[in-house]
Homo-oligomer: A and B are copies of this chain.
Amino acid sequence: MNDQKIWTAALIVIGDEILSGRTQDKNIAQVASWLNVQGIRLAEVRVVADDMDHIAEAVNILRARNDYLFTTGGIGPTHDDITVDAVARALGVDVVIHPTARAILEKYYTTRGGLNEGRLRMARVPAGAELIENRMSGAPGIRIGNCYLMAGVPHITAGMLDALTGTLQGGAPLLSATLGAWAPESEIAGILGDTEKAHESCVIGSYPFFRSGTVGANFVVRSTDAHDLENCRAELKAALEAAGYEVTDGGI
């Protein structure tokens, strides 16, 4: 099991509104969770400004070293929507009007005032691209090579991810098991490290929290190997209990 290829993806979150602190990003967690189900690991994320060179640089580095590259944001109708241009520049291809995207937009805007220059921008794609269905509104997402360009508005992004479900090749999904204890992680750090070392396919994450004035932590064991995961989980639970902590399955 451990020799299986691990499929990875990177995500570029495009938008000044995230970097200015105005908008709280929701797409990182959403894309990460969806990728896990596809058997693909989110390996790295970059948040970049609405800047052609910065986007193009990130696209070329990340698409080369991951199986998939996703972007969110910057495919709308306004002047600050430059993702298509930046990706086309990164790939060295022209920007063209996709006839199907144009037809989709014409139909969508028939009862909404008709196509105009801004709306037609949303039919622009890097030459050679295919469309990703938009189940929420008009403008489709875009796939070119291993790059998937999606909307930035989270519920539209969700619809596009839904349309892509099952279409990407992935490996064994990453499984996880969570244990929780009212234990300061600084007291059980040794147990965590030792248990992880004993299970080669497993990674243990430790996530402290503070509630009602008391310190605790949740411990997440992750592995693509269900058998090893269960062994690791059971050993960690036993070790924490042996150290005097009450352990909650599923986390606190």
* A interface residues, Cβ below 8 angstroms from B: 13, 16-26, 28-36, 41-50, 54, 76-80, 109, 112-113, 116-119, 121-122, 137, 153, 155, 174, 176, 184-190, 192-193, 196, 203-210, 220, 222
- With A and B bound together, what is the CA distance between A210 and B117 in angstroms? 22
Most buried by B among A36, A41, A186: A186
Whether the Cβ atoms of A49 and B54 lie closer than 8 Å is: no
**Contacting residue for A25 out of B17, B25, B186, B220, CB 8 A:** B25
Whether the Cβ atoms of A20 and B45 lie closer than 8 Å is: no
- With A and B bound together, what is the CA distance between A234 and B213 in angstroms? 49
Chain B proximity of A143: nearest CB distance (Å)? 22
List B contacts of A45 (CB < 8 A). Answer: 13, 18-19, 45-47
18 contacts between A and B (CB under 8 A): A17-B220, A19-B43, A20-B42, A20-B205, A21-B28, A21-B29, A21-B35, A24-B26, A28-B47, A44-B46, A45-B46, A78-B193, A109-B186, A117-B189, A118-B187, A118-B190, A119-B189, A121-B189
Copies assembled? 2
List B contacts of A121 (CB < 8 A). Answer: 189
**Contacting residue for A19 out of B18, B42, B122, B196, CB 8 A:** B42
**Contacting residue for A185 out of B28, B77, B174, B187, CB 8 A:** B77
List B contacts of A153 (CB < 8 A). Answer: 208-210
Whether the Cβ atoms of A21 and B47 lie closer than 8 Å is: no
List B contacts of A31 (CB < 8 A). Answer: 21
